[in-house]
Structures are given as structure tokens and as C-alpha cells.
Structure 1
Amino acid sequence: MLHTIFQYLNEGFNKNKHPLYKERLTLLRKLKKSIIDNQADLYIAATKDFGQRSETETQIIEILPCIQSIDYSIKHLKKWMKPESRHTSWLYLPGINHIFYQPKGVIGIIVPWNYPIFLSLGPLIAALSAGNYCMIKMSEFTPNTNKVIKHIIDTTLKNKVAIVEGEIDVAIEFSQLPFAHLLYTGSTQVGKSVMAAASKNLTPVTLELGGKSPLVITEDIDIQSVAQKIIFGKLTNAGQTCIGIDYLLLPKNKLNDCIESIQAAFNIFYQDQTTFNEYTSILNQRHLARLTHYIDEAKNKGAKIIRCENVLFNTETSLENRLMPLTLIVDAPLDCLVWQEEIFGPILPIHCVDNLDQAIEFINERPHPLAIYLFSNDKHAHYKIKTQTHSGGICINDSLLHVAQDDLPFGGIGPSGMGSYHAIEGFKTFSHAKSIHKKWRFSSSILAYPQHRHGLLKRILNYILN
């Protein structure tokens, strides 16, 4: 079945290998209108899939980035599509060089469950801008959202984009299709399997993975003033975010202030029923059990466990709805799972360091993260984090917002990913940069023909090589 869908899309692409600017513009505008027209259904669907997720949360973290991405692509698409001039050496004059960006073909997109709207439509926007057709594998854990996404696609892009669903067997078959390019978002371990499957077809891949993204706080920062930024970076989507703050590094003398400030900020964020309703559920019981196991293991190994609970999170209703409060873990041994695995939930391990150099050493001893967060007013600290660490991106004095910037690429490095998209990088990821050298009637290559090699060419070679 998947192969049949792929063949249909591939045949369609082969009939129009380079859609014109106006065609691409029309598709992007139709997609934008359909997202806006169906946004109420998307809010309802996301809430059903998660158990509790507010309309506003879905608007901020999923719908808004999609609309902004479409608007940005529409604004810049004509410029992106123009051939890019390149230098031509005097040896090859008269002639010109340029890069022609050509659609690759049928793009495969594998979507995770945590941001099913943005992480399906975001890559699709980039692929459509580049002139491609797409086949999208949605997560089996978000059936309600999948249904609305499928409706959006079927009513606007039916002959150019296909939505497929299914469990692990479908995902395996999907990654084995001979796509022109394959983008996978999810865990590092599964990413390795996807890349191995794609390699059999020599399919290029973009891997958007995750990892343990640290937050570093330096001595000059008043933690009380940044505590709400920490809560936002940790608890958006209940921490089920690939670039979410995974752990905290700070000076030892700031530990008590940090704990008190984060607890206070948590209670400001979730102080009544209205704000409590803004909190997102853990996706399912399996993930809730995984997170609970992390806490229990750390506690059994001697760590200090601090739950940021209040009356709202102490009810039976909150437990039934998988609403897990923020839990701080202090002094957990480094062999605990909270230090070994990507947490992907509302748990924040805290590790004390003597200085910034020690924080950098701690980060560099671990796989490259998708993001690094730094709270510091010291420009030297900014420079050291930029130059002495590797990560997909850096956000200084705020959290999460670097991924929302229109003109910045998004992607990881090493264990946190391969390749990038968003902005012009997305257009280029899904395009083939075709090199073109163009001449007219006369060609300077005549000088290299055997019968002419002992004349002018010899003098040119002597001039360059001596």
C-alpha cells in the first residue's frame, strides 16, 4: 500500500519537475487558509490526544509557528528560487556560473507525537516551497490530530501530499521507500534505524533528534528574576519538547535560592483553576510510569526530591489526567537515569558547579545536545559557550524562543541530529543545488585541445604554476 502511494506521488512529480513560483505560492496560501479554517478542530484533537492541553498552548507552540513559517516563505520564495550567481575564473571566460535550485522529488516526513501539527506541517511548508511532493507518516499516538491533518491535506493538497498512519511496522516500511529525501523527528535510537534503512536506497536524510539540553546559570544572574523563564522552558507541553531544558547547572551558592525561586515561579504559573487548565498532560500511562521510575530511582540512590506541588496538583483528578507537577532532583548520582536518558517530561535535575569552565566540561563530557541555554550578562561567558561547546543551537537569557525565529535554521549536531531546516535552509535542504556552467559560441577550452597546447596555453600555465 505504501509503495503504491509513493509511486502515485512520484509519477505526479515527474510530470511537473519544477513547479513555477505562482504554483508554489498558491499551494502555500491554500495550506495557510486551511490551517486557519480548521484550527478549532486541531485544538480539540490535540486535547483528546494528550488528555489535557489548552487551546492557547496549541496556538502558541504549533499553529502560530506554522502560520509564521508560511508567511515567511511566501515573502522570500521568489528570491530563494532565483539562480544564485557564482564566481567564474578568468581562465574560463567568456562564461558564467550559477546554482539552480531544483526540487528533489517525493519527500518523506516521519512525525513524532509531541508536536504533531508543527512537526508535520513545518517540514511540509519547506518541502512545498522547494517544489516537492510529500508523503507524511503521522504518529500512532495522536489519532485525533492525524484525522484533522489528513482533512487539511486532502482538501488542499490531495494530489501532491499523502498522509499515512500506522504503528512500528508501517514506520519501518515507510523509511525503506526510495524517497528523494527523508526527514525524521524523534529519538536518537530510532533515528539510527531510520538512517540505516534510508542508506539502502542512498536516500539523504535530515535527522531532528533530541538529547539532554542544559541550562547554565552564571554567578552574575539573580535567579529570582529568571525563574519564570526557567519554568517556561521546562514546562511548555509539560516538558515533552525536544529542545526543552533537560537539566540545570549553576554555582553551589545559588542552589537554595534556585529551589525557592523555581517553586515560587511554579505557583505563580499555576495558581488557580484557569492557569491549571493551561498545563498539558503526559501523553499516556507508559510515559508517566517512565518518568515516575526516573524519580524513584534517583530517590533510592540518595538524591533529594522536591515536588513543586500545590493544591491543584494534589487532587485525584490531576493524577487521573496524567498531570505531573514539576519535580526538582538535587544531588542525583551521575549513573541515575535522569543523567543518562533524555527526560522528556517535568523533571529537572540540578547539578552544582564551581564555575563556567566546569559547566562547559560537564556539557562536553556528554553527547552534543540539541540546545544549550545560558543565563548570563557576561559577554565573555557568551563567547565561551558559543566557541567551547557543540549544540544544535543556543538561546541566551531566554528559553525555547530560538526555534521560533523566522530566519534561523533549526537542527542538531551528532547525536542530536543531522542537517537543518526552517528559513532558507529548509528550502535548500529539500532542493538539489545544481551547478551550471554556461558558455556561448566561443569556448576557452579550445586552448586545451592537443593541437593548441604548445602555444598560448603553455604561457598561461607557466604564469600560474611558476
Structure 2
Amino acid sequence: MNDRYPHLAHSSPPGIAASLEARLAHMREAFLTAQPVSLEVRRDRLRRAIAMTLAHAERIVAASQLDFPNRAPELARLNEVFMPLDALRRAERSVARWMKPERRRAPAPFSLFGARAAIEYQPLGVVGVISPWNGAITLLLLPLATILAAGNRAFLRPSDQTPHCAAAIDAAVREYFDPDEVTVALGGADVSAEFSKLPFDHLLFTGSTPVGRVVAEAAGRNLTPVTLELGGKCPVYIMPDADTGEAGKRLAFGKLINAGQGCLCPDTVYAAPAVAEKVLTAMDAEVRRQSPGGIGSPEVCGVFGARQYERLKAIVADARAQGAQIRTLGVDMGAHATLDEQHKMAPVVIIDPPETARASREELFGPVMVLHTRDDLDTVLARQRLRDKPLGLYVFSRSGADVRHVLERSFSGGVTINDTIMHLSVPDLPFGGVGHSGTGAYGFGIEGFRRFSHARAVYRRAGPYSLVRAMHPPFGRLYDFAVLRALRRLSRQYAKVAPRHPA
């Protein structure tokens, strides 16, 4: 527990709410007092965040291993340390460029006399960040990079399912930041419930769609702007001309990383029968290459917790009971396909489950994937357009025309072509969902800076005042010249455009 706020340790829920509100008020007062936030201050905070992450790297990895013991420490170090450091370093190098006003064209004829227009990016204030268990620290530190670069303060809320990670990031933050700059809310589910009710200047939540609805409703009571990064059943379309060997490798990559427990992991594959078996063969070979010792090898990531593990096994059992074919990858007949004590399971492909199966309706979020063998791509795309829009979408094809065909007839937060997940690796692309997969987008480069800033319009007048008199009463000859003359010209220009439904 944070010893700067010892009263949180034994508070009732009302006490927790009051304490969180007091901490937020203290941060907002400090933010308002310290305006403007200079480049030097922003760089100093980013450098401290970098130094903090480096100094506490091994403690962060150790904490991750305690909360997620069946995940390799190499993967924990990559996710929770290396990736945030890359974003923080990029922000430190780029913040001066990001802060520069962006010129916009002033309207004629005022621009001829020197009128100027620009966007100036202002900090929002105090930004709340709620992370999920599958990215307990990385999904706090990745957005922290652009939150600090934008000149904000950050109030961090780690998942209550990862208490060791929460304690580790709290200790790190207390060592490198004043509590009015960056602070961490510790505690159980009652703290999580109160956190999203706080009147932040912006709230970023990463997690499931059902919890996202609750967070959005709570934030809406304060009109708090929210960015919700949720999930969905990310589809994969494999065209008949695709490189099936490469498609199988890239699908295995997307499904094995973090044991498929990521919002962008491929969920449901649509492939013609002629290529489906080749893709499965290539996936099986890649699974064996990555885990030569079988599912008991330390490289194989397990499922987080017994509840998630039992949920996935129940989804597979439900599909089997409803007649779907089940293919287990990377293990030979008679070999162990599950290790219950480690919550590990070999990757499973559910082939052609019916629409009533749980696998067809629920986000899988684990080493389980659905494969539909279909030739009628346009029918599939038409049905998908009626469903919830996914966070990610993947297309495998050698044909640019086929790729364009899919992109123009589908919706998703982002797309990777001939690979999976990799659009997330481009710092200056926006990362976010659409509809049920999320609201708003940020990113780990300029898009994140813009998300956590207010784009303030600034106009500098120039030229004779008489130019604007056409808009002021009493209206006369100048109005006729500037407005009526323009309307008559437009009427002649568009006179041949026929109405769809004539009166």
C-alpha cells in the first residue's frame, strides 16, 4: 500500500471515494498552478519515466512473474519493460516537434492581408489510465509516454487482478515522481469501481467490452471524455492465392504471443477449403518450431488464472458437442494437450462450428481459434458488416485488388495485410477500435500526443475591417456583392444536378 496515502489501507468504500477525489483535486490544483508546461518540464518527466523503468526493470519482471507465473520472463521483459521504454524514448526525442503549432490556411481574402490560423496543442489536465491484467504495466507506461509529452499529469490504476505488478509500479512511481505529477491507485475491486467515477480531464480504459460499458457509464456522469480500447472477434481472410505457408506462420505468431490473450489476436479465420488444410499444416509446423519441448516447455505461455482456463476448455467442449471438428496443433496423438496445474493448453482450432456455439459468439482471448472453410467471401463480408466491428482485421493475399475488395467491404479499428497484429508496431498510426471494439484512438507517437491534448484553434485577424461588414447589419450593397452574387454563381454551377426524388 502507498505509504503516502495510508488511510486507503482500511477504508470503507465511501472513504476510498473521498480519498481518490482528494488526490485528484490535489493533482488538478498543481496542474493549473504550473501552467504553461514548458518543453523542459515535459522532457524532464519523460527522462525520469525512462530512468524509473530502467531502474525498476527487474522488479517489474519479477512482479509480473508472480502475477502471471506461467509466462516466460523473456516475454514479460519484452512487454512490460522494452516496449514502454521504446515509446518513452520516442516521446523524449519528438516532443519538441509535436508541440509546434500547426498552420492552417486562413480564408481569402483575409489571408492576402496577413491573417493567420493555427492549431496549438494544450494539455488536458489530469488523465486517468486503467490497465488490464494482460498488460498490467505496459498498458500504463505506454500511454504515459504521450500523456507526459502532452504536458498532463497521470493517475494510474493497475488491474486489481495483478497486485504484485500494481505494487511494483507504485514503488517505482513514488521514487521518481511527486504525487501531484504521477500517482498510482492501489486496492481491490472497490477502488476500481470508484476510480472510473472520478472527474478526470480524460480517461483511458483498456479491457473487455462489458467492463468498458460500465466505465463509460460512470465517466459519463461527469462528462469525462473517454478512450476505450476494447476487443472483439478479430477476423482473418485468407484468399485462394495467398502464400499459405507464410499465412500459417503469421497466424501462429498472432495466436501464440501471450497465449492469444491480447485484444488484437486473430480470432476467426475464413479460408477456402482448397487452402484451409495447407494453412493448418503450416500453423502446426510453426507451433512445433516455437515449442519443441511440447506444451510443458517454458517458452509456452499459459492462460492467466483458473477462471480463464476453464472458460476456454468449456468453449472447446461446447463446440465439440455441437458437431465441430477440433484440431489440436503442435502435439502428437497421445501427447498431453493440456497441463491443468500450469493452465497451459496446446493451440486449438475449432473448424466450422455452428452459429449457436460459444466459439462463434464469444471473444476467444486465448490459444483457441475458429476456422470457417468458405468459398463465398462476399456473403461472409456481408454478414460480418452486420456484426460488431472488431478491433483488428487481417487479410492474406498476393493480389492488391483482392485486398482492396476486403478493405472496402469491411469495418475494423485497424488492419494488417499478410501478417497479424503488426499495425500496432507503427508508432504514428492511431490505435483504437470502432463501435463495440472501442471509442477513440491514441497511439505511441504523434496520435497519442494529439489524443491527450486539446487542439485549440487560434486565428489572428489582419486586413481592413470593412471586409467583414458584409456579415453585419445593416445589410446592403456589400452583402449583395459578397453573398448573393456567390449564391447565384453556385446555383448556375450545380443547376444540372437532378434531385433523387423530385417534388
Relative to the length of structure 1, the TM-score reads 0.93
Q: Which moved more, 1:210-219 or 1:451-460?
A: 451-460
Pick aligned residue for 1:232 from 234, 243, 253: 253
Q: Which moved more, 1:335-344 or 1:300-309?
A: 300-309
- Conserved in 1, the CA contact under 8 Å of 2:87 and 2:142? yes
Q: Which moved more, 1:355-364 or 1:158-167?
A: 355-364
Pick aligned residue for 1:21 from 30, 39, 48: 39
Deviation at 1:275, TM superposition (A): 9.1
Task: Determine the C-alpha separation between the residues in 1 that align with 2:243 and 2:485.
Answer: 65
Task: Determine the C-alpha separation between the residues in 2 that align with 1:455 and 1:251.
Answer: 69
Deviation at 1:450, TM superposition (A): 6.5
Task: Determine the C-alpha separation between the residues in 1 that align with 2:472 and 2:236.
Answer: 65
Deviation at 1:337, TM superposition (A): 0.9
Deviation at 1:451, TM superposition (A): 8.3
Pick aligned residue for 2:450 from 425, 428, 433: 428
Deviation at 1:447, TM superposition (A): 2.9
Pick aligned residue for 1:121 from 141, 149, 153: 141
Q: Deviations over 1:329-365 (max 9, x none)?
A: 1121111111111111001111111043244234324
Residue 21 of structure 2 corresponds to residue 3 of structure 1: yes
Which residue matches 1:163? 184
Q: Deviations over 1:168-224 (max 9, x none)?
A: 332221111111111111111111111111111111111100000011111112423
SS of the residue aligned with 1:292?
A: helix
Residue 279 of structure 2 corresponds to residue 279 of structure 1: no
- Conserved in 1, the CA contact under 8 Å of 2:390 and 2:413? yes
Task: Determine the C-alpha separation between the residues in 1 that align with 2:408 and 2:473.
Answer: 55
Pick aligned residue for 1:295 from 316, 324, 327: 316
Task: Determine the C-alpha separation between the residues in 2 that align with 1:441 and 1:263.
Answer: 71
- Conserved in 1, the CA contact under 8 Å of 2:433 and 2:440? yes
Query: Cα distance 1:329–1:274, how it changes in 2: closer, same or farther (>3 A)?
Result: closer
- Conserved in 1, the CA contact under 8 Å of 2:248 and 2:286? yes
Task: Determine the C-alpha separation between the residues in 1 that align with 2:482 and 2:376.
Answer: 59
Task: Determine the C-alpha separation between the residues in 2 that align with 1:450 and 1:289.
Answer: 71
Pick aligned residue for 1:66 from 84, 87, 91: 84
Gap regions ≥5 residues in structure 2: 1-18, 489-503
Q: 1:44-193 counterparts in 2 under 5 A? A: 44-92=62-110, 93-158=113-178, 159-193=180-214
Pick aligned residue for 2:325 from 292, 300, 304: 304
Tell me which of the two structures has the higher relative contact order, counting C-alpha pairs closer than 8 angstroms and 6 or more residues apart: 1
Q: Deviations over 1:215-264 (max 9, x none)?
A: 11111124233322111101100111000011211111223333333222
Query: Cα distance 1:453–1:362, how it changes in 2: closer, same or farther (>3 A)?
Result: closer
Deviation at 1:309, TM superposition (A): 5.2
Task: Determine the C-alpha separation between the residues in 2 that align with 1:157 and 1:352.
Answer: 54
Query: Cα distance 1:443–1:295, how it changes in 2: closer, same or farther (>3 A)?
Result: same
Query: Cα distance 1:102–1:444, how it changes in 2: closer, same or farther (>3 A)?
Result: farther
Q: Deviations over 1:101-122 (max 9, x none)?
A: 1111111111111011221111
Runs of 4+ residues deviating >6 angstroms: 449-452
Deviation at 1:370, TM superposition (A): 0.4
Query: Cα distance 1:332–1:131, how it changes in 2: closer, same or farther (>3 A)?
Result: same
Query: Cα distance 1:153–1:455, how it changes in 2: closer, same or farther (>3 A)?
Result: same
Q: Which moved more, 1:438-447 or 1:110-119?
A: 438-447
Deviation at 1:317, TM superposition (A): 9.5
Task: Determine the C-alpha separation between the residues in 1 that align with 2:296 and 2:441.
Answer: 35
- Conserved in 2, the CA contact under 8 Å of 1:214 and 1:247? yes
Which residue matches 2:499? none
SS of the residue aligned with 2:134?
A: coil
Task: Determine the C-alpha separation between the residues in 2 that align with 1:70 and 1:450.
Answer: 51
2:87 partner amino acid: S
Task: Determine the C-alpha separation between the residues in 2 that align with 1:179 and 1:269.
Answer: 44
Task: Determine the C-alpha separation between the residues in 2 that align with 1:313 and 1:115.
Answer: 34
SS of the residue aligned with 1:389?
A: coil
- Conserved in 2, the CA contact under 8 Å of 1:107 and 1:132? yes
Query: Cα distance 1:90–1:364, how it changes in 2: closer, same or farther (>3 A)?
Result: closer
Query: Cα distance 1:449–1:253, how it changes in 2: closer, same or farther (>3 A)?
Result: closer
Task: Determine the C-alpha separation between the residues in 2 that align with 1:429 and 1:57.
Answer: 29
Count how many residue pairs are aligned between Structure 1 and Structure 2. 466
Deviation at 1:96, TM superposition (A): 1.9
Which residue matches 2:394? 373
Residue 233 of structure 2 corresponds to residue 212 of structure 1: yes
Task: Determine the C-alpha separation between the residues in 1 that align with 2:453 and 2:405.
Answer: 35
1:367 partner amino acid: D
Deviation at 1:311, TM superposition (A): 7.7
Task: Determine the C-alpha separation between the residues in 2 that align with 1:301 and 1:176.
Answer: 43
Task: Determine the C-alpha separation between the residues in 2 that align with 1:410 and 1:446.
Answer: 42
- Conserved in 1, the CA contact under 8 Å of 2:131 and 2:207? yes
Relative to the length of structure 2, the TM-score reads 0.87
Percent of pairs with identical residues: 32
Task: Determine the C-alpha separation between the residues in 2 that align with 1:78 and 1:344.
Answer: 39
2:94 partner amino acid: H
Q: 1:303-342 counterparts in 2 under 5 A? A: 303-308=324-329, 310=331, 318-342=339-363
Task: Determine the C-alpha separation between the residues in 2 that align with 1:17 and 1:434.
Answer: 16
SS of the residue aligned with 1:136?
A: strand
Task: Determine the C-alpha separation between the residues in 2 that align with 1:317 and 1:292.
Answer: 10
Which residue matches 1:460? 482
Deviation at 1:139, TM superposition (A): 0.4
Q: Deviations over 1:121-174 (max 9, x none)?
A: 111111111111111111011111112211222122233111112333322211
SS of the residue aligned with 1:194?
A: helix
Alignment RMSD: 2.4
SS of the residue aligned with 2:441?
A: coil
Q: Which moved more, 1:446-455 or 1:375-384?
A: 446-455
1:374 partner amino acid: V
